[in-house]
Structure 1
Amino acid sequence: MSQELMAQFLVEGRELVAEAARGLSALALQPGDAAAMEACFRALHTLKGSTGLFDLEAMGRLLHAAEDRLTAIRDGAAGDLDALVAMLDQVDRWLDSLERHGRLPADATAIGQALAGHIREEAPTEAPPAGAAWTIPAEFAGLAGTALRYVPREDCFYLGDDPIAIASAIPRLTALRVSLRAPWDPSEPYDPFTCNLVVEAVSAAPRAEVEAGFRLVADQVQFADLVVPKAVDREAVAPEEVAPGDVTPGEVAPEQGGGARRSLRVDAARLDRLAALADDLVIAKAGLAGLAAQVEALPGGHALGQALRARQARLDRLAGDLHATIGRVRLVPLAPLFARFPRLVRDIAGSLSKIAALEVVGGEVEVDKAVVDALADPLLHVLRNALDHGIEDPARRRRAGKPEAGQIRLAARVDGDQVVIEVTDDGAGIDPVTIRDLALQRGLLAPEEAARLDDAAAIDLIFAPGFSTAASVTTLSGRGVGMDVVRSAAAGLGGKVAVTSTPGQGTQVQFRLPLAMALVRILVVACGTETYGLPLDAVVETARLTPDRVVPIRSGRAFQLRDQVLPLVRLADLVGAGGAAAAGQGERVVIATVRGQQVGFAVDAFVDRMDAALRPMGGLLAQAPGLMGTTLLADGGVLMVLDLAELVA
């Protein structure tokens, strides 16, 4: 099989494992959840069918056993779902092996048989529904080719199978017979959701080609090779001369629902290129405002300048809609990423002789694909730390009055235009005193610096490069690499990460990341010879103050805005632009909301308002405080967009 087909199988396989895991989680909470049961069946059945495209017999047999177990549970058999969870974990490991090595491990058959046997302890394998004996129908006499008998499962509709569509796709069909598996009982109500059909057919195509069309339902079909007796004229039964009452391959085709949702897989690199072009378009159209101003300044150019501004307004709307649409196309749910962590948490906890359970919330939240792709390693670092440094061993938890099993919660939620992802554990927490002492021992802080640190700042030291609380190097920790990488990864995505902890009660690591690629409306202001961008969603209004409205308060200044007295700070002082305020002149002020309070920022001039495609800070400026990101101006210059909340912190 081609590498492209295998790559697609791996992507779809992980999605199906995640869907089955969500269904099992729902069934654990509510055993009678029909929708969850159907979702599990659909995911496992589809994945089992896909294994038929590759030499993955061990995986296919294990998934078939899981289907049997689900059938028994749905029919009322007792038993928990632990064996099915273990099956999904093993399939996930096999997908990892396929991705890394292109094949299943050498022990896949043995492991698959052992797991399948464990699964079937409470759900014996059903006999093939097609039955052991099959009498070729008399009407097939004289036909040559591949005969088949397809007996769909009674619950095939719940699994997403369409028996008639499957039969109609048989290549070079020369005969077809559809009958009832069992006579209808007129005393019983008709059940449209139970399949009672038997499909028998003959195809002139090679057997391998016919079998390929039934790979998703291979356990429900029987095949036989038909040979025309010598007394029969072969030319009389050639597939090209089928009797008018027979079905030819082109006459029956599955209908495509007009309202069905269509999807298309697109290479991520193409989407990235499209997004970059949309950013460039936003930058390019921003130059029209300056061009319109120049035209209006020409003699008799006012009308032309106004017409140009009208065209610019329309281009603004179109470019904004295009940018937003591309941003929505790039959105993907967090569920497939989150679904990989429960198994990893169990494996890591087992290697540490600890007991831990992971609760996942918010997998339905959709974020930009770049965020999802970059989050796997940072989240894994955080979960490892929670298990290694946070969750205590069972004996210690008992002494602390806690349950033996530690609890870790991975949750995602939307907050405005950001996604907030939190990893919370109920472990030992972080002791700020210990952090200070370790920082002093390792020369990361001078004694006077350590004395000035409050508890929050001390805990923040875990993000320092080279810092580790581990006493020795293990396979999980002790090398001083981890949380600094986590912070760098968040900064590279235009976001932030912070830690809060209570000794003895637990720790929370919170990521705040951009939800999607979006345009930011900014106000461009001048401070001396420099220009900066301020996000307009934080700006309340702008004002011009006369000198008599500004009053000194201690070492600062304030001014009255209607019935409020607001602090006034020079933006140039905050950004280090230098220069002094002009004496005796009015001041231009931007009133912005900072942490719930209004603050006035004195600037030298209001330059422009514009839509900007914000790009996160990188390189040496990645950790610079007070910067949200950068954007390009129409003339190619770089404009830094400020984070006012951090500037006044």
Structure 2
Amino acid sequence: MMDELLEQFLIEGRDLVAQAQGDLAALARQPERRDVLDSLFRAVHTLKGSVALFDMAPAEGLLHRAETRLDHARRNHAQGGDAPLSVPDLTALVAVIDQVDRWIDLLERDGSLPADAEACAAGLGIGLNGALDGPDEGAVSVREPGPDAPEPPRRDAAEHIPAWLEATMAQAPSFGQAATAFRYVPDADCFFRGEDPLAVARAVPDLLALDLSFPPDAPGIDDFEPFRCVLRIVGLSAAPQDRVRAAFRMMPNQVEVVALGAPEREDKNPAGDVGDVPMEPGESGGMLRVSATRLDVLADEVGQMAVALNALEAAVERAATSDRVLAAELRRVQGALAGSLNRLSSTVAEVRRVPLQPVLRRLPRLARDLAASLGKDVRFVLSGEGVEVDKQVADAIFEPLLHLVRNAVDHGIETADARVGAGKPASGTISLSFRRSGDHLAVKVSDDGKGIEPVAIRRAAVGKGLIGTKEAAALTDRQALRLIFAPGFSTSRSVTGVSGRGVGMDAVQRAVERLQGSIEIESAPGRGTDIAIRLPLNAILTRLVTVRVGDERYGLRMDQIHETLRVDAAAIEELGHGRACVIRDRTVPVLSLAALLGHAEGLEQVRAGNAEADWARLVVTGASGERIALRVDAVGERIDAAVRERSGLLAAMPAIGGTTLDADGGVLLVLDLPELLS
């Protein structure tokens, strides 16, 4: 079982790596951003303190060098410099953070750093030291102010400032912005209560500076107990005193808060003050750590409530045939419950939402590593990673995105010589962007590479036996592009460590479909490729429409349906080897859902005397990439349901996207239209 302290470090360390990577990317775009530079310094400083708790001396030393370089840059900026970090500086810092990221992964896997860690740290440190005016002191602590540090506040100007605060203010260029200072001395047994002192301190609003140290009487390494906290945390914040106190409302006896510019309150037990601070929604002091398993259970219960509400709706319809007054009362209750369920579902969905940034932290580094191994010059641009999505989406999105990025580096971006020969910059660009679009997440992976030739796709698909020559010739270019998602498809002529096995893009499509999303591809030969993914932000309840085929009922996802309609059966005509009808001035193929599901009889064999024989009910979908009408026997109600991923015997059945409980307690199969129509 993993050590609890190590497990917490793996989470916190990776969060800090993600923050540093994001700040470095922001500084590459806007080098003059002092706030981002300060944020990067804090991330590196905190990360250095975190790795010091483990056998990661090379990482600690390397991060200290990075911290020294950043401190030098901050001083330079304070003296009027516009761009404190040059391009070589940023490149060196990116390499350092990437390497620390790798070491964290190795620590989790092997329990220690590799034998060459010291040599690797020394090599990376050369790039950092080159920009410094003087040699690196090599010390771990940064509490002592350097020669260029701002002069400490004069005693005659601020008599109330305690001694523990002077060193921090002396070394913090952001002191001029500070409104409040705090000293947080966590209880020695805080780890046993599930408290995280670093997370508590970092949650202080408008944090400007943070300094970690050990007390003078801290035990030596031989007597050190990893489960006892001996930290002393001093920080500066731009927030007012009451908001800083609110962040420590759960441990008021462990913190001293000083309002800068006003007399210090020597209140050793500020519990009464904390109680007067309102606990606003979203305020950092009101954060609680909740097990992800408990959130999953809560989401499941919301799904069960939706099933019960659907059953109540059916009961109301039955009651209406015998007692209209009772039915009216039940409808009123049903409406109130539906409103409560919607609000509860929305609240649970908000609680389950997490930022994408920690999930994506490894992608830039992996893209750079892969490009270097292939001898390509690639620039990776990430935007919108701060958007929040459902935990289920965040947990599952990394693998498909990794496949897409690897595919873009391997197949999309050309070598530098080939790009220059084609009149392009030697460096290729891969961009990954995220944005909210209504109740969906829009993801786009783009590259400015060679694009995809539909002719080559057709040839490769025929060569691998995925389709016949005549079928390939009949495909439009858009349909041909979707062949890259077919199982076993690959344009590589040989298997390498990167590609050639034909599993990448198929895995992407299956992962997206499991998340109830859709994927589209567009490409221009010579100019690049765009892949767009659309995923629901709320993964708790899914809007379904029920359809009947013979005696069976199925569920179809509403986001895969353009419309449902009833047309004259005579309007469906034979066309080539199939059938079609005109819908809104557009010819649309018509397929029998009964035939696709293997039913012996469908609507085409209507019993004689049926008054509905002259009408056809159609469900129009674009799940296959092209608009298609599915003919069904009947279109039923629309319901909100918790769709479970198919498992057991159903896992081997094609075209089944999942299951949910019907209003009568039975199992309703939810069809996977993209797979059914592929």
TM over 0.5: yes
Amino acid at match of 2:167: V
Q: How does 1:421-570 map to 2 (within 5 A)?
A: 421-533=443-555, 552=571, 554-555=573-574
- Cα 1:630/1:575, change in 2 over 3 Å: farther
Equivalent residue number for residue 323 of structure 1: 345
Tell me if the contact between 1:594 and 1:645 (Cα under 8 Å) persists in the aligned partners: no
CA separation of 1:422 and 1:600: change in aligned 2, threshold 3 A: closer
Q: Is the 8 A contact 1:157 1:194 kept in 2?
A: no
1:401 CA displacement: 1.1
- Cα distance in 2 for residues equivalent to 1:557 and 1:479: 38
Correspondence for 1:154:
170
Specify which of 297, 309, 312 is matched with residue 285 of structure 1: 309
8 Å Cα contact 1:440/1:447 also seen in 2: yes
> Contact 1:566–1:598 at 8 Å: present in 2 too?
no
Answer yes or no: is the 8 Å Cα contact 1:520–1:614 preserved in 2: yes
Q: 1:254 to 1:575 in 2, by over 3 A?
A: farther
Deviation at 1:566, TM superposition (A): 11
Q: Which residue of 1 aligns with 2:299?
A: 275
1:542-586 Cα distance to aligned partner (Å, 9 max, x none): 8888xxx8764754798999xx99999797667666034566735
Report which stretch shifted further, 394-403 or 608-617.
608-617
1:462/1:483 contact within 8 Å kept: yes
Determine the structure 2 residue equivalent to 1:639.
668
Match of 1:350 in 2: 372
Deviation of the 1:93 alpha carbon: 0.8
Taking the aligned partners of 2:564 and 2:493, their CA distance within structure 1 comes to 55
- Deviations along 1:512-531, whole A, 9 cap, x unmatched? 32222243444444444233
312 and 87 in structure 1: CA distance in 2 versus 1, 3 angstrom threshold: same
1:445 match: secondary structure: coil
Residue 107 of structure 2 aligns with which residue? 98
SS in 1 for 2:509: helix
SS at match of 2:639: strand
Shift of 1:358: 0.7
| Counterpart Cα distance in 2 of 1:506 and 1:542 | 36
Alignment-derived partner of residue 234 in structure 1: none
Structure 2 equivalent of residue 166 of structure 1:
183
| 1:308-336 superposed Cα distances (whole Å, 9 cap, x missing partner) | 33333222222222222222222122222
TM-score by length of 1: 0.74
Cα distance in structure 1, aligned partners of 2:170 and 2:424: 48
Aligned to 2:62: 62
User: Does 1:118 pair with 2:142?
Assistant: no
- 2:215 touches 2:232 (CA, 8 Å); kept in 1? no
CA gap 1:252/1:608 in 2 versus in 1, 3 angstroms: closer
Aligned residue identity for 2:500: G
Question: Does structure 1 retain, via aligned residues, the 8 Å contact 2:62–2:96?
Answer: yes
Residue 439 of structure 1, CA deviation: 3.0
C-alpha distance in 2, partners of 1:442/1:568?
28
Look up the equivalent residue of 2:380 and give its one-letter code.
L
What is the match of residue 158 of structure 2? none
Q: Which amino acid aligns with 1:274?
A: L
Q: Report if aligned partners of 1:570, 1:603 keep a CA contact under 8 Å in 2.
A: no
1:83 to 92, 96, 102: 92
Give the 3-state SS of the residue equivalent to 1:154 in structure 2: helix
Secondary structure, counterpart of 2:59 in structure 1: helix
2:109 pairs with 1:109: no
Provide, for residues 39-70 of structure 1, a one-character-per-residue CA deviation record: whole Å limited to 9, x for no partner. 21232222222223333333233222222222
For residues 358-401 of structure 1, give each alpha carbon's deviation from its aligned partner in whole angstroms, at most 9, with x where no partner exists. 11122122222222222222222222222222211111111111
Q: CA deviation at 1:108?
A: 2.4
Q: Percentage identity across aligned positions? A: 40
Match of 1:239?
Answer: none
Distance in 1 (CA, whole Å) between partners of 2:305 and 2:456 is 52
Please say if residues 565 and 619 of structure 2, whose CA atoms lie closer than 8 Å, have aligned partners that are also in contact. no
CA contact (8 A) 1:492 1:616 kept: yes
Distance 1:534 1:516, change over 3 A: same
Whichever residue aligns with residue 52 of structure 1, its letter is A
Partner residue, 2:381: 359
Partners of 1:512 and 1:501 in 2: how far apart? 18
SS of the aligned residue for 2:466 comes to coil
Q: Residues 150, 35 of structure 1: CA spacing in aligned structure 2 closer, same or farther, 3 A cutoff? A: closer
Query: Which residue number corresponds to residue 189 of structure 1?
Result: none
**Residue of structure 2 equivalent to 1:371:** 393
Superposed, which structure 2 residues align to 1:558-637 within 5 Å?
578-579=602-603, 580-581=605-606, 585=611, 607-615=636-644, 630-637=659-666
How do residues 381-460 of structure 1 correspond to structure 2 at under 5 angstroms?
381-460=403-482
CA distance in 2, matches of 1:614, 1:385: 31
> Distance between the aligned counterparts of 2:15 and 2:524, measured in 1?
37
Task: Please tell me whether Structure 1 or Structure 2 has the larger radius of gyration of its CA atoms.
Answer: 1
Q: Residue 558 and residue 430 in structure 1: after superposition, are their counterparts in 2 closer, same or farther (change >3 A)?
A: closer
Q: 1:488 to 1:436 in 2, by over 3 A?
A: same
Superposition deviation, residue 354 in structure 1: 1.1
Distance 1:568 1:584, change over 3 A: farther
| Cα deviation code 1:101-144 (max 9, x no counterpart) | 22222232332243334313223447965489xxxxxxxxxxxx
Residues 516, 474 of structure 1: alpha-carbon distance in 2 compared, 3 angstrom cutoff: same
Structure 1 CA distance, aligned partners of 2:297 and 2:145?
55
1:433 & 1:24 partners in 2: Cα distance? 41
Q: Which runs of 5+ in 1 are unaligned?
A: 133-146, 172-192, 219-246
Give, in whole Å, the separation in 1 of the partners of 2:51 and 2:214: 25
8 Å CA contact 1:168, 1:253 repeated in 2:
no
Question: What corresponds to 2:37 in structure 1?
Answer: 37
Q: Is the 8 A contact 1:165 1:253 kept in 2?
A: no
| Inter-partner Cα distance in structure 1 for 2:208 and 2:541 | 52
- Residue 309 of structure 2 aligns with an amino acid whose one-letter code is K
Task: Say which is worse superposed, 614-623 or 86-95, in terms of deviation.
Answer: 614-623
| Contact 2:619 2:632 (8 Å CA) reproduced | no
Q: Deviations over 1:271-330 (max 9, x none)?
A: 2222222212211232122334444555xx544443333333222222222222222222
Distance 2:42 2:504 in 1: 39
- The amino acid of 1:273's aligned partner reads V
Distance 2:583 2:479 in 1: 35
Partners of 1:425 and 1:645 lie apart in 2 by: 26
CA distance in 1, matches of 2:337, 2:71: 57
Amino acid at match of 2:67: E
**Per-residue Cα deviation, 1:211-266 (whole angstroms, up to 9, x for no partner):** 95446679xxxxxxxxxxxxxxxxxxxxxxxxxxxx99964789766553232333
- Which structure 2 segments of 5+ residues have no match? 147-162, 189-206, 236-264
Question: Structure 1 counterpart of 2:114, which letter?
Answer: P
Q: Which amino acid letter does the alignment assign opposite residue 288 of structure 1?
A: L
CA distance in 2, matches of 1:475, 1:202: 51
When normalised by structure 2's length, the TM-score is 0.72
**Residues 85 and 623 of structure 1, relative CA distance in 2, 3 Å threshold:** farther
Q: Which residue of 1 aligns with 2:49?
A: 49
Of 41-50 and 203-212, the range deviating more from structure 2: 203-212
- Is the 8 Å Cα contact of residues 156 and 162 (structure 1) preserved in structure 2? no
CA separation of 1:475 and 1:489: change in aligned 2, threshold 3 A: same
Amino acid corresponding to residue 152 of structure 1 in structure 2: T
Partner secondary structure for residue 364 of structure 1: coil
Letter in 2 for 1:101: D
Task: Provide the C-alpha distance between the structure 2 equivalents of 1:408 and 1:461, rounded to a whole number of angstroms.
Answer: 22
- Once the two structures are TM-superposed, the CA of residue 612 in structure 1 deviates from its matched residue by 2.0
Alpha-carbon separation, structure 2, partners of 1:525 and 1:337: 38
**Post-superposition shift, 1:94?**
1.2
Residues 345 and 3 of structure 1, relative CA distance in 2, 3 Å threshold: same
